């Protein structure tokens, strides 16, 4: 799953005016992948290219206990909750952000071959939808578009920024699906992934500053924010 990880970010931004801003939620949605690629650069977690690993990509994600175990993802989520509590002083806001971080593991569970663990042990989990491209593509596009449209319908502001964001997401997803496959796992691959996450979060931050939840009247709504 790639852009499908940002579906929970859109959904969280839509569900409540107390949710973190969209840019923060975009960081939350891919936080464990940020961690994985940073850890991979120093060898704490590891991947390799195995042609035919799945029908949709050649990634053999064979050692990622600190980010892609359920326990590891939960620790990242709790850390994110703690940071948001320090910055925002709002428990609901922090818990929504943490839930988006934790969603990453469950979304991956749908598409990964068995390479996810509960706590870094030998038993591995994954439903393997990457071996069924028609289903995986439909699922990824479906949940992303549904969550995006829900976000747009539950927020107000100029329409151009969110559609630019969606266009970027679809572009990088098309490259991911139909571009040349990587030939080796190394720094160039890791930095490319991190750059795509960073650009997406930057655009999402711009979108989040231009729109607000329809239940948030703010100063322009004729009364105090509740």
Return the pLDDT at 218: 60
Q: What is the pLDDT of residues 134-157, one digit of tens each?
A: 999 999 999 999 999 999 999 999
Average pLDDT (199-212) is: 97
Average model confidence (pLDDT) for the chain? 94
d(CA 97, CA 102): 9
Percent of the chain surpassing pLDDT 90: 92
Name the H helices within the chain: 7-15, 22-29, 31-41, 70-88, 91-111, 133-153, 160-178, 187-210
Q: Where are the domains of the chain?
A: 14-138+148-210
Percent of the chain surpassing pLDDT 70: 96
Q: What is the pTM of this model?
A: 0.93
Q: What is the pLDDT of residues 19-39, one digit of tens each?
A: 999 999 999 999 999 999 999
Return the pLDDT at 1: 77
Q: How confident is the model at residue 126 (pLDDT cuts 50, 70, 90)?
A: very high
Report whether 140 contacts 112 (CB < 8 A).
no
Average pLDDT (75-91) is: 97
Residue with tokens 């790639």: 2
pLDDT at 222 over 80: no
């Amino acid at each position: 799953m790639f852009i499908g990880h940002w579906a929970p970010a859109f959904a969280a931004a839509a569900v409540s005016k107390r949710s973190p801003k969209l840019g923060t939620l975009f960081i939350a949605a891919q936080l464990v992948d940020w961690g994985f690629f940073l850890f991979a650069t120093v060898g704490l977690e590891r991947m390799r290219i195995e042609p035919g690993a799945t029908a949709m990509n050649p990634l053999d994600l064979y050692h990622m206990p600190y980010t892609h175990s359920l326990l590891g993802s939960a620790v990242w989520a709790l850390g994110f909750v703690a940071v948001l509590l320090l910055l925002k002083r709002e428990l609901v806001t922090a818990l929504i952000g943490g839930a988006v971080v934790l969603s990453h593991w469950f979304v991956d569970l749908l598409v990964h071959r068995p390479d996810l663990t509960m706590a870094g042990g030998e038993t591995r989990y994954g439903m393997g939808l990457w071996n069924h491209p028609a289903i995986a593509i439909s699922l990824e596009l479906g949940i992303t578009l549904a969550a995006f449209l829900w976000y747009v319908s539950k927020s107000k502001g100029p329409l151009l920024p969110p559609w630019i964001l969606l266009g970027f997401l679809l572009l990088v997803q098309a490259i991911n699906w139909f571009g040349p496959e990587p030939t080796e796992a190394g720094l160039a691959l890791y930095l490319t992934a991190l750059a795509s996450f960073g650009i997406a979060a930057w655009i999402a931050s711009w979108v989040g500053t231009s729109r607000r939840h329809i239940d948030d009247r703010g100063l322009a709504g004729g009364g105090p924010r509740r």
